[in-house]
């Protein structure tokens, strides 16, 4: 099957904490001022991406996977995950602080929810002055101390705050308590999972005047209580080459800053390739066609491609494979 580079219609999500940067900065077609997420590439049931370009326009991602699994995903990816697309790609705009949360690991998520866990990474695209993330604890915390802080409403005193700027990148492994702070626009790459344990929500109420559900008891056995310094990703920003950012069992992410065209031989890459454009624009070609992506757009290259050519005089891209 000759599969050209695939762009997808964004799946836009209203969120209590959302804003307008997805429209104002990334050009998404949002129609309100509380849009918090643009799901760029998803096979989550009920939110399956649909092709927006070329001969396959109107075809769902899941239909393509079902009909051409090895050609699209790669043989090794298909053998590992079957017909389930293994990652979820998003842009997130936090006008307000997100809830403080964490995600269970694969073992716990499988046992409790028959789901994958949720390992994720964030690339900061835009941040208001002084904007912060919460990532982990500021000291080692016991389970009892954590539980008491939830009861006493003092959790915020135990958390680690990171001031962020464009280009900062964070790897959030399962169990790590975290939250995106107000004023942050970021690209998120994660395992395909929507299992989140919300532990504190600043006592906010939704549009109906209700407090959102917390998952206090579920979280107790899922939290990593140890203070760690393993979340800030250090990576090279050498131009016109592939710079490794994150390599983990669930996805691999590289950073590319282009000032000229770049052609990659991927004949031995047994995986699909995703490009998220986080700055500028580029035309992405494979054996079977091309697609242009601007800042805030995403493209999927099938695994049966032999090469990828990136045509650009100024683009910043995140490259994602399995």
Provide the annotated binding site for Zn(2+): 103, 120, 178
Give residue limits of the domains in the chain: 11-220, 243-321
Q: H or E element: which one contains 200?
A: strand 197-200
Q: Are the C-beta atoms of 129 and 184 separated by less than 8 Å?
A: no
Query: Strand, helix or coil at 259?
Result: coil
Residue with tokens 């999972």: 193
Q: Any idea what DSSP says for residue 33?
A: S
CATH class of domain segment(s) 11-220: mainly beta
- What's the pLDDT score for residue 68? 97
Active centre residues (catalytic) = 198
pTM for the structure as a whole: 0.95
Q: Are the C-beta atoms of 136 and 227 separated by less than 8 Å?
A: yes
The first and second tokens of residue 184, run together, are 């942050």
H runs (alpha helix) in the chain: 21-24, 61-67, 69-73, 75-81, 106-113, 143-152, 216-220
Identical topology for domains 11-220 and 243-321: yes
243-321 classified as CATH 3.40.50.720: no
Provide the annotated binding site: 103, 120, 178
- What's the pLDDT score for residue 205? 79
Question: How far apart (Å, rounded) are the C-alpha atoms in residues 19 and 38?
Answer: 12
Q: In tens digits, what is the pLDDT along the chain, a chain of 322 residues?
A: 899 999 999 999 999 999 999 999 999 999 899 999 999 999 999 999 999 999 999 999 999 999 999 999 999 999 999 999 999 999 999 999 999 999 998 889 889 988 888 999 999 999 999 999 999 999 999 999 999 999 999 999 999 999 999 999 999 999 999 999 999 999 999 998 878 999 999 888 777 888 888 999 999 999 999 999 999 999 999 999 999 999 999 999 999 999 999 999 999 999 999 999 999 999 999 999 999 999 999 999 999 999 999 999 899 999 999 9
Q: Are the C-beta atoms of 228 and 141 separated by less than 8 Å?
A: no
Distances from the Cα of 52 to the Cαs of 254, 291, 301, in angstroms?
A: 25, 11, 14
Question: How far apart (Å, rounded) are the C-alpha atoms in residues 16 and 36?
Answer: 8
């Amino acid at each position: 099957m000759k599969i050209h580079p695939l762009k997808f219609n964004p799946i836009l999500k209203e969120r209590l904490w959302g804003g307008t940067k997805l429209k104002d900065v990334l050009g998404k077609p949002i129609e309100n001022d509380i849009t918090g997420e643009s799901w760029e590439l998803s096979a989550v049931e009920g939110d399956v991406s649909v092709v927006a370009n070329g001969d396959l326009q109107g075809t769902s991602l899941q239909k393509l996977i079902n009909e051409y699994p090895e050609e699209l995903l790669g043989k090794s990816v298909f053998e590992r995950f079957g017909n389930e697309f293994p990652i979820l790609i998003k842009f997130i705009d936090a006008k307000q602080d997100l809830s403080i949360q964490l995600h269970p690991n694969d073992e716990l998520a499988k046992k409790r929810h028959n789901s994958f866990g949720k390992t994720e990474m964030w690339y900061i695209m835009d941040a208001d002055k002084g904007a912060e993330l919460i990532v982990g604890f500021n000291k080692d915390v016991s389970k009892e101390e954590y539980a008491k802080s939830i009861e006493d409403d003092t959790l915020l005193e135990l958390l680690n705050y990171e001031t962020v700027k464009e280009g900062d990148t964070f790897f959030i492994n399962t169990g790590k308590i975290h939250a995106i702070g107000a004023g942050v626009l970021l690209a998120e790459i994660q395992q395909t999972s929507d299992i989140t344990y919300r532990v504190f929500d600043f006592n906010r109420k939704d549009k109906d005047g209700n407090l959102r559900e917390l998952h206090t008891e579920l979280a107790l056995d899922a939290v990593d209580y140890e203070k760690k310094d393993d979340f800030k990703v250090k990576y090279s920003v050498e131009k016109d080459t592939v710079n490794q950012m994150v390599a983990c069992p669930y996805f691999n992410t590289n950073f590319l800053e282009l000032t000229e065209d770049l052609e990659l031989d991927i004949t031995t890459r047994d995986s699909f390739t995703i490009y998220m454009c986080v700055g500028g624009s580029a035309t992405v070609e494979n054996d079977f066609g091309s697609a242009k992506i601007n800042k805030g757009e995403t493209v999927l290259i099938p695994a049966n491609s032999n090469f990828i050519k990136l045509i650009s005089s100024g683009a910043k891209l995140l490259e994602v494979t399995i």
